[in-house]
């Protein structure tokens, strides 16, 4: 199996690099590379640049605004974006609910929602996890009861990423409490401005407002906002999760973070020499780099198979497990390389325009926060324990 890039793919990589060099705003790239706070406006500005180029929704059909890219081109694009400091695409609209609407939605839903996702008019968030339903998602308890032309929704969702910005939420709700867990769930599209919805922030250790709790108190949702059939929402949920888990290995992000680690380790001095020249620390960096090279090769093998018509199976679980562990290991080393300077925290330093005295360096303010934040990688998208169960059953046949 040939895992080397073809001449056409190398030409595409050059095209992507030229685009990023000329179109990626310098202030946005600086925020990404230094771990500064990103605003909603930053994300929307970059989104419109990608939309103008026709590169915002590569997984969509071409006639709906997508591209002709295959999995290899998508991999190249993601890797180059990470290397240049482009912000990660907020996935909830374009990469998660849109594929579900395209696959299972009515023509009216496609005509209404897809253009609004491209234009940025709708900002989506995900209503899956609940206080008692995370990896065991099928145990969710948020209820939706049919009342004429509406569903009346009551319940709570949690860990709702960027829900404070959203005007729409896609939700899994229980419409038949008597049915087997997966068979009694439906997939609803809900306007966040509906009466009875309240959003409560969850402030993380670094003082950031990234996640939220969302409460539904007799929220009326039009029946026309049901995607697919009633009580068959688990089919939509599984389909969406295959899109959510795509790219969770984070090869491009890990390679960019590893390069950042090496740059910092050459600047930070211990016993009169750069940290990267310390034999023990250098060995730790080398171990992570070898693991990253191995998982990149595995990813390329899977992409090569997909290009020939194959469909990734349980192998994607292996990539998710190892990829997230590598990303966590890099944040550990990034925090370790600056030692005690990872302990002080001044939230103002996370703003790009901060002009006060730095506690250490422009790259140090975010490292501890990133380390703690990245603990979530092995939990979301199906915890690594769940992924190991998949591998044991589907590959090892245990």
Residues marked as catalytic: 244
Distances (CA, A) of 333 to 244, 260, 267: 27, 11, 14
Residue 380 CB-density burial (10 A; 0-12 exposed, 13-18 middle, 19+ buried): middle
Rounded Cα distance between 299 and 307, Å, is: 12
Token code pair at residue 372? 């703690």
Alpha carbon dihedral 200, 204, 207, 209, in 10-degree steps, equals: -40
- The phi and psi torsions of 122 (rounded to 5 degrees) equal -110, 130
Rounded Cα distance between 347 and 356, Å, is: 12
Residue located via tokens 């990404």: 32
Distances (CA, A) of 190 to 122, 169, 229, 376: 12, 5, 16, 26
* Own/partner long-range contacts of 147-150 (Cβ < 8 Å, ≥24 apart): 147/220, 149/222, 149/223, 150/220, 150/221, 150/222, 150/223
Residues found in the chain: 398
CA-nearest of 363, 331, 366, 362 to 345 is 366
């Amino acid at each position: 199996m040939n895992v080397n890039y073809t001449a056409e793919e190398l030409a595409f990589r050059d095209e992507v690099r030229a685009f990023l060099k000329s179109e990626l705003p310098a202030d946005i790239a600086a925020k990404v590379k230094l771990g500064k706070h990103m605003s909603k406006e930053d994300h929307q500005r970059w989104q419109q640049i990608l939309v103008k180029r026709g590169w915002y929704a590569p997984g969509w059909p071409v006639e709906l605004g997508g591209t002709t890219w295959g999995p290899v081109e998508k991999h190249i694009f993601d890797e180059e974006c990470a290397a240049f400091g482009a912000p990660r695409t907020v996935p909830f609209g374009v990469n998660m609910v849109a594929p579900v609407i395209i696959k299972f939605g009515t023509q009216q839903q496609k005509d209404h929602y897809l253009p609004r996702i491209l234009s940025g008019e709708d900002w989506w968030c995900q209503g899956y996890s609940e206080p008692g339903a995370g990896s065991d998602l099928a145990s969710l308890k948020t209820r939706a009861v049919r009342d004429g032309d509406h569903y009346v929704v009551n319940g709570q969702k949690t860990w709702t990423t960027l829900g404070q910005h959203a005007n729409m939420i896609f939700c899994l709700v229980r419409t038949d409490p008597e049915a087997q867990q997966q068979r009694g769930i439906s997939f609803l599209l809900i306007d966040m401005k509906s009466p009875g919805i309240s959003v409560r922030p969850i402030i993380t250790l670094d003082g950031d407002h990234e996640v939220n709790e969302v409460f539904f108190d007799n929220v009326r949702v039009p029946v026309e906002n049901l995607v697919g059939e009633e009580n068959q929402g688990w089919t939509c949920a599984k389909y969406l999760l295959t899109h959510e888990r795509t790219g969770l290995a984070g090869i491009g992000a890990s390679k960019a973070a590893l390069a950042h680690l090496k740059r910092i380790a050459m600047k930070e001095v211990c016993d009169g020499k750069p940290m990267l020249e310390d034999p023990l620390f250098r060995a730790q960096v080398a171990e992570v780099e070898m693991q990253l090279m191995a998982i990149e090769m595995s990813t390329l093998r899977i992409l090569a198979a997909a290009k020939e018509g194959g469909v990734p199976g349980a192998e994607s679980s292996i990539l998710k497990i190892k990829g997230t562990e590598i990303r966590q290991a890099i944040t550990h080393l990034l925090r370790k390389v600056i030692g005690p300077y990872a302990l002080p925290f001044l939230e103002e330093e996370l703003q790009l325009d901060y002009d006060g005295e730095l506690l250490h360096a422009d790259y140090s303010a975010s490292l501890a926060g990133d380390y703690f934040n990245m603990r979530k990688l092995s939990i979301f998208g199906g915890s690594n324990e769940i992924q190991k169960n998949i591998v044991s059953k589907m590959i090892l046949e245990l």
